[in-house]
Chains A and B, each alone.
Chain A
Amino acid sequence: MNNKKLTTGKIICGILLAAAIVITVFPLYLMIATSTKSTFQFAVNFWGIAVPPRWDNYSVAWDAIGKYVFNTIKVSAMTVFFVTTVSVLSGYAFAKMKFKGKNLLFAIIMMFKMLPATLVMIPNFLNAYKLGLYNTHLGAVLPLVAGLSFMPMMLSKSFFQGLPDDIFEAIRIDGAGEFKVITHLLIPLSKPIVLTCALFTFFHSVSQYTWPLVILRDDSLKTVAIGLTSFAGAYGTDYGVQMAAYTIVTLSLMVLVSLTMKTYVNGITAGAVKG
C-alpha cells in the first residue's frame, strides 16, 4: 500500500476536514477565550486570549448559576437512575429471555417511539397538575424517562445480544435463581453498558430545555439550561461573565466525556457496527 503518497484528492480531503473541525470547535474557543475578559478587554481584543486573565468572571458567574447547577445535578441524577434502570432491565429481557408476547410488547414500545415529544408535551403538562408534579423536580424527571429510554434500551439490547447464551444457561443449569443470575452475572457483566447508558442519559438530561422551562415555575427549582438564558439577560453586555457561565457548564461535561471516552464511544456506536 502506498498510503504515504500525497494525491490532490487527499490534500483536498485534508483541507476540508481541517475546515470542518475548525468551524466546529471555533465557537468553543471563542467561549473560553472570552470567559476571562473584562468588558474593556473584550472591546479591544475580540479574537485573542485575555492578558491578564480576569478570573473574577468565574466567581461572579458561579454566584449566579451555582444554585441552578445543583438543581441540574439533582434532576439529572434522578433521570439517570430511572432511565438506566428501565432501559437496562428491558433491554436484557428483550435480548436474553424467552416469554409470551415478547415480540408484541417490543412492537408496542417501538410504536410509542413514533409519538413525538412535542405531541405529548402539552397533555403531560395538563396531567402533571393532576398528578401533583407541577413545579417539582420529580415532575421535571418522570415524564421524560420513557422518551429518553428508547436509545439506551436499544443499546443495552444489542449489548446483551452480543453476550453468548451459554453463560446464562450454564448458571441456570447450576441451579441459580433469577436473583443469583442478576447479582452474579448480570451486574458484573453489564457495567460498561450501564455506564454508557448513564452517561448518554446524563448528557441529554442536562441539555433538556423546553420541558423544565414549562414545568418548573419557581426560580429556586430551575435547572441550569434555563438559568443560563435568564442569566444572559441579566448580564446583558458583560460577555466575559456570560461566557464564564457557559464555560463552567460545558467544560465540566467535556471533562466527564473525556474521562470516559472509550466506554462511551464504544457503547453508543456498538449498534451501528452491527448494522
Chain B
Amino acid sequence: MNSRGIKRRLRLSTFMPYIYVAPMIIFLLVFSAWPFFTAIKTSFYRNDGMTINDFIGIKNYVDILFHDRLFWKSMGNLFYLFLGMNVCFVSPIITAKFTYMLSSERLKYIIRSAFTITTVVPTVVTMMLWKFIYYPNIGLIARIAEYLGMASPNLLGDERTAILAVIFIGFPWVNGLSFLMYFASLQSMDESLVEAAKIDGANAFQQFFKIELPMMMPLIASFYVIAFIGQFQDYEKFLILTSGGPNNATLTPALYMYQKAFGTAGESEFGYACAIAMVLFVITFILSRLLQRGDKDE
C-alpha cells in the first residue's frame, strides 16, 4: 500500500465517526432543537396557527401563573398523580424480588415471559379495555357491584372518583419494562455476597434491604426520575379515557396544553399552549435536577 492510500484512509477514518453520529444530530436539530426555539418564540405570541400571530410579550405567562384558575386546578390534580405514582412504583420492585425468590427456574421464565408480553399491549388498547371495565351497568366493576348488591358506580364519570379510577389503571398492573430491568439486575447480582450474608445469619428481609436493594438503587433512581417527569408530561391516558372531565377533575397541565392547542377546532391558542409547555418544562427541569442531585448525595 502506498503512502497516499494510507493517508486517504486515515483521513476517511477521522471522518467516519462524525458520519455515524450525524443522523442522530440532524434529527435532534430539526425535530428537537428547532422546535424548542419555536416553542420559546411562540410562547410570546398570540397565535392561532392561521391568521393571528401577534407579539404580546409575557402576557401568556402572566395569565397562566396569575389568572388561570384551570391551570392551577390541573396542577392540583398532579398531586394525586404523584401519590399514585409512588404506590405504582414499588410494585415492580416487589414483584421482581418475589419472582427472583422462586426456586423453579421454569416458573421464573414463565412469569418473566408473561410480564414481557404485557409490555407490547398498545396504550390505546389498555385504556379502551379499562374504559370497558369501568363502564357503568355493563363493565366488570358494575358486575361486581351488582353481585354485591350495590348500585352500579360510574367511576370515570364521577368527579370524586375519576382521577383515582385513572390512577388505579396503573396500580396493580405491574409495569413490565421496569419489572424486566429489576429482575435482570437481581439475576446478575453477585451471589457470593448474598451467600456470605446468609452465613452471617441475615434473614430474608435483611438480605433484601441491606444487599439487594442498595445494589438496585442506581436503576431504581433512574426509573424514579423518569416516572416523576412522566407525571408532568404524560396525558395520553386522560386524553383517551376522560378528556379531562368530568368538570376538569382529571385535567392535567399537559392535557390542558393539548386542549388549548388542539381542543376545539378553529380556536387553537398555540401561543398560550407553548407558554404552558414552557412552564412545565422549567418546573420539570428544576425538579429533575434536584432529584438527581439528591440521588448523588446518597
Contacts and interface: CB of A to CB of B under 8 A. Distances in A.
Interface string B173-198: 11001001111110110000000000
Contact of A116 (B101, B177, B280): B280
Contacts of B278: 119
Interface string B229-269: 10011011001100000000000001001100110000000
Interface size range on B against A: 35 or more
A85 B219 CA distance: 27
Contacts of B91: 20
A225 B16 contact: no
Interface residues of A, number: 93
Nearest to B114: A21
B195 to A, nearest CB: 10
A93 interface: yes
Interface of A: 3-4, 9-10, 13-14, 16-17, 19-21, 23-25, 27-28, 30-31, 46-47, 82, 85-87, 89-90, 92-94, 97-99, 102, 105, 108-109, 112, 114-127, 142-147, 149, 153, 175, 177-178, 203, 206-207, 209-210, 214, 225-226, 228-229, 232, 239, 242-243, 246, 249-250, 253-254, 256-258, 261, 264-265, 268-269, 271-273, 275
Contact of B18 (A98, A99, A153, A203): A99
Shortest Cβ-Cβ A-B pairs, 7 listed = A269-B184, A123-B38, A123-B35, A93-B20, A99-B17, A120-B35, A146-B27
A118 B257 contact: yes
A126 B130 contact: no
B16 A97 contact: yes
Given A27-B130, A86-B27, A203-B119, 20 more contacts: A17-B99, A28-B129, A86-B24, A87-B24, A90-B23, A93-B20, A120-B31, A120-B32, A122-B39, A122-B274, A123-B38, A123-B274, A124-B31, A126-B49, A142-B30, A146-B31, A253-B122, A264-B116, A265-B180, A269-B184
A126 B37 CA distance: 12
A123 B185 contact: no
A145 B236 CA distance: 19
Contacts of B58: none
B34 interface: yes
A127 B36 CA distance: 11
B108 to A, nearest CB: 11
B32 A112 contact: yes
A25 B130 CA distance: 13
A122 B181 contact: no
A57 to B, nearest CB: 15
B38 A127 contact: yes
Contacts of A109: 24-25, 28
B56 interface: no
Nearest to B172: A23
A112 B30 CA distance: 12
